[in-house]
Amino acid sequence: MSNLPLPTLPLHGILVADFSRVLAGPLCTQLLADEGARVIKVEEPGRGDETRHWGPPFLGDVSTYFLAINRNKESIAIDLRSPEGAELARQLIERADVIVDNFLPAQRAALLPEIGADKIHCSITGFDGDTGEANTPGYDLLAQAGAGLMSITGEPAGEPAKTGVALSDVLTAHYAHGAICAALVARERGGGGARIEVSLFGATLASLINVAQGALVTGNEARRYGNAHPSIVPYQLFHASDRVFAVGAGTERHYRLLCERVIERPELASDARFASNAKRVENRGVLVPLLDEIFRTRAAADWIARCRAAAIPCSLVQGVLEALRSEAAQPMIAKAGEYDTLLNPVRFDGARLPIRSAPPKLGEHTDEITREIRETTRDSTQTETPPERR
């Protein structure tokens, strides 16, 4: 599948000043960069974004963590506490369409110059600014713990568990990206700038979706179901004779076909205890062990073939490397300089968003961007009409 050329990218011509670091902010700005925005990543001299050093694994002296979330960007290393750095940041912000940061309120006030009302300014925080936790630093682990995600993840009889990836950060990044794009549309329609705030706690809580809604309506604390579903049965992992696989019989038709055509046990479809999804949820303790015993009699590949022949959703439980090597993943893998990486999953009119550049070295573009800003400032000053001629 071909990649979109630069002028065709939806955010071509948009300049983003990125003062964020770690995961949520950089992932948000990478999404904007993938869509064509010019993203200038502002980093601390000598140290840079903390994730540059979060490893192993490393590629050379840069962590794979950093590589995953900073492609298609430029890096400028400036000391925001110095007069020269503060002035360069002010000039960059003056030219930017979008400013992204993840400072605490006191840090933001001390390090960021004043941002005009015509700008789209997105702050990624730990907690919302209209709460008593506004000054509390935010971390993915704490967001998963505090917002309830951890309490519904893991085996029912086990301890709460975090997800295998920093999901609170990832969710926050996507909420922020969507809000920024919405603000750009509003500006294009004649609106002004926007002041956007997205918190890790809020994004995680909002992403609990049906679980949070159920708790609000019933007043009951949400439970852990391990790899099962609280409201759909069977919709979980099962053990085949050789490995684990997932079955999602989410409709009455799916369940009937599962019984009749896949496991060849039609009496389980007509059994009054399992005659509706609500009944199956009520009697999951009876049905699931029966299904698991049946599934253990054949290899997972056999069950996958049978399920797919009956149009029942199913999948092997693959390792990450196994998934990356699968046929379905191949169109999403491309080169970023010397290493393979995953493309943005979005396609526009069938075309994939290109990798225009590998993640930058710390301060790689400092001289170039500084010179560009100074020349632009000098040119704009020289073209101004003298006061006596206005």
Q: pLDDT digit string (tens) for 49-70? A: 999 999 999 999 999 999 999 9
| 247 band by pLDDT with thresholds 50, 70 and 90 | very high
Per-residue pLDDT, averaged over 326-349, amounts to: 95
- What confidence tens digit (pLDDT) does each residue in 34-50 have? 999 999 999 999 999 99
- What residue type is assigned to position 141 of the chain? L
- What confidence tens digit (pLDDT) does each residue in 277-289 have? 999 999 999 999 9
Q: Angle, to 10 degrees, between the axis of helix 167-188 and the axis of helix 24-34?
A: 50
> What is the pLDDT, as a whole number, of residue 254?
97
**Residue 236: pLDDT above 70?**
yes
> What is the pLDDT, as a whole number, of residue 321?
97
Q: Angle, to 10 degrees, between the axis of helix 83-95 and the axis of helix 366-383?
A: 70
Q: Respond yes or no on whether the N-terminal peptide bond of residue 386 is cis (omega within 30° of 0).
A: no
**Residue 390: pLDDT above 60?**
no
SS percent in the chain: helix, strand, coil, step 5? 45, 15, 40
Pick the CATH number of 6-210+328-377 from 3.40.190.80, 1.20.120.1770, 3.40.50.10540, 3.40.50.12660: 3.40.50.10540
The DSSP result for 374-385, as a single string, is HHHHHHHHHHSP
> What is the pLDDT, as a whole number, of residue 4?
72
The contacts of residue 86 (CB under 8 Å, 6+ apart) are 80, 113
HSE (CB half, 13 Å, CA atoms) of 166? 20
Compute the distance between CA of residue 91 and CA of residue 373 in angstroms, rounded to an integer: 7
Distances from the Cα of 241 to the Cα of 103, 244, 245, 266, 304, angstroms: 51, 8, 10, 22, 13
Q: How many CB atoms lie within 10 A of CB 247?
A: 22
The contacts of residue 315 (CB under 8 Å, 6+ apart) are 245, 246, 304
Is the separation of the CB atoms in 204 and 169 below 8 Å?
no
**Residue 9: pLDDT above 90?**
yes
Q: How many CB atoms lie within 10 A of CB 172?
A: 31
- What confidence tens digit (pLDDT) does each residue in 355-372 have? 999 999 999 999 999 999
Per-residue pLDDT, averaged over 18-39, amounts to: 98
Give the ranges where the chain is alpha helix by DSSP (H).
Answer: 24-34, 64-68, 83-95, 105-111, 140-146, 167-188, 200-206, 209-218, 252-257, 267-270, 277-282, 284-295, 300-309, 320-324, 366-383
| 385 band by pLDDT with thresholds 50, 70 and 90 | very low
Is the separation of the CB atoms in 237 and 245 below 8 Å?
yes
**Token pair of 316 as six digits:** 């092997």
**Token pair of 36 as six digits:** 């064509």
> What is the pLDDT, as a whole number, of residue 388?
44
Sequence ranges of the domains in the chain = 6-210+328-377, 235-317
> What is the pLDDT, as a whole number, of residue 382?
60
Q: What CATH superfamily is the domain 235-317?
A: formyl-coa transferase, domain 3 (3.30.1540.10)
Per-residue pLDDT, averaged over 150-178, amounts to: 97
HSE (CB half, 13 Å, CA atoms) of 24? 30
169 is catalytic: yes
| 376 band by pLDDT with thresholds 50, 70 and 90 | confident
> What is the pLDDT, as a whole number, of residue 387?
40
Q: Respond yes or no on whether the N-terminal peptide bond of residue 234 is cis (omega within 30° of 0).
A: yes
**Token pair of 197 as six digits:** 């705030």
The contacts of residue 22 (CB under 8 Å, 6+ apart) are 49, 50, 51, 102, 169
**Residue 269: pLDDT above 90?**
yes
**Residue 5: pLDDT above 60?**
yes
Identify the weakest region by mean pLDDT among 75-84, 126-135, 243-252, 307-316. Answer: 126-135
The residue length of the chain stands at: 390
Q: How far is CA 337 from the centre of its chain?
A: 23
| 3 band by pLDDT with thresholds 50, 70 and 90 | confident
**Residue 389: pLDDT above 60?**
no
Q: Which of 18, 97, 169, 349 is catalytic?
A: 169
> What is the pLDDT, as a whole number, of residue 386?
43
Quote the Cα angle for 216-217-218, to 5°.
100
Q: What percent of the chain has pLDDT over 70?
A: 96
Compute the distance between CA of residue 39 and CA of residue 26 in angstroms, rounded to an integer: 10
| 384 band by pLDDT with thresholds 50, 70 and 90 | low
> What is the pLDDT, as a whole number, of residue 8?
87
